[in-house]
Amino acid sequence: MNNLISVIIPVYNLEAYLEASLQSVLNQTHKNLEIIIINDGSTDNSAKIIDKLAAADKRIVAIHKPNGGVTSARNAGIAAATGEYIAFFDGDDFAEPKLYERLLTNLKKYDTDISHCGYVMDLPSKSIYYYNTGELIVQNGYEGLFAILDGLKVEPGMWNKLYKAEIVKPIFIDPIFRTYEDFLFNVYAFEKAQKCVYEDLPLYHYKVRANSGATSQISKRRLENFITIAQMLPKHFANNPEVLPQALKKAVNMQLHTLDDLITIKNPEFKPLIPSVRSFIRANKGNAPLTRQFKLRADFAASSLTLYKLLLFLISLAKKVRNKPTFEDDLKKMREQK
């Protein structure tokens, strides 16, 4: 069917948010939707809510499966999708009514493989706009891929994007990845895309809850996923000299952020992960086009863990002197309130 968009929605224990969230998808001005809801082994009333909505709207396809994680659920949704285009949606978020109409219009107008937009991050206390400038950018495949590796207006999330199905269908992400898997998916998707378009309108609302994935306590598996994905990047682009430097830059930056968590979260379970992270930084920092700040951090991390800890302390002290709360501060407060 022409212009059919398959919207893939993984759900796990979202009974408090699900109905309102799905209503924002059902209310889209682009009506030609195949809404694939994957109940990933929920133990609350999510399954009942999904079945009730599916009975009321024939566009909804309900899939119930044992719990396997968000990546497993998305893989099941991709396999079931029949639309010409594919979108992803989180079952506790919210979409502006013209989200898919606008994404599809831009995709067709500029003849691209991926269309994406800005978004709003809704925290309990405030909303942060990314970025609402109205700017429109058309990029070729390499420009789009560089943008996602650099995080320049191409956010790692899958939920503010519309993909041609032919781009998405061949992609398979190992279900072992349950965190930062959206970034890995987009690296593969933008690598396949010949052309993409971005319009900086915040049409998607990403809800950050106290018990959501963004605010949940950092586990060893979560850190291991992050480390593995970082180390996969230079291997994946080893035979692509045009992309490899950007991949190395992203990978080293990711490892530095991971090292920060390993140091600041004093959990003995994390300590064995530190040597491999530092080894990766030491081996790759020289070939990565790092900014001056990250080059300094990489040099300290590679040479002395004690000096790196001191550097982190000074950075933290400087933030306190500026007395300017960061997004990370908001997340920390929310974790403490759990």
> In tens digits, what is the pLDDT along the chain, a chain of 338 residues?
589 999 999 999 999 999 999 999 999 999 999 999 999 999 999 999 999 999 999 999 999 999 999 999 999 999 999 999 999 999 999 999 999 999 999 999 999 999 999 999 999 889 999 999 999 999 998 899 999 998 877 889 999 999 999 999 999 999 999 889 999 999 999 999 999 999 999 999 999 976 554 434 688 999 999 999 999 999 999 999 999 999 999 999 999 999 999 998 889 999 999 999 999 999 999 999 999 999 999 999 999 999 999 998 888 888 777 765 554 555 444 443 33
- The pTM of the full predicted model, rounded to 2 decimals, is 0.91
H-type helices in the chain, by residue range?
18-26, 46-56, 70-80, 99-109, 141-150, 165-168, 181-192, 220-236, 244-264, 274-284, 292-303, 305-322, 327-336
CA distance 300 to 297: 5
With a CB cutoff of 8 Å and minimum separation 6, the contacts of 243 are 142, 145, 146, 149, 237
CA distance 96 to 9: 16
Please state, as a whole number, how many other Cβ atoms lie within 10 Å of the Cβ of residue 84.
Answer: 16
**Tokens, residue 88:** 């992803």
Superfamily (CATH) of domain 5-207: Spore Coat Polysaccharide Biosynthesis Protein SpsA; Chain A (3.90.550.10)
Q: Where in the chain is CATH 3.90.550.10?
A: 5-207
Count of alpha carbons within 13 angstroms of residue 271, beta-carbon side: 4
pLDDT at residue 333, as a whole number: 45
Residue 161: name the closest of 224, 203, 211 by CA: 203
What is the β-pairing status of strands 114-122 and 195-207?
A: parallel
Task: Return the bridge partners of 86, or none.
Answer: 6, 163
* Amino acid in the structure at residue 198: Y
Query: Could you say which DSSP state residue 148 is in?
Result: H
CA distance 56 to 70: 26
CA distance 36 to 78: 9
Give how far Cα 41 sits from Cα of 72, 74, 132, Å: 11, 13, 37
Question: Would you call 331 helix, strand, or coil by DSSP?
Answer: helix
pLDDT at residue 336, as a whole number: 38
The structure tokens 């035979």 sit at 239
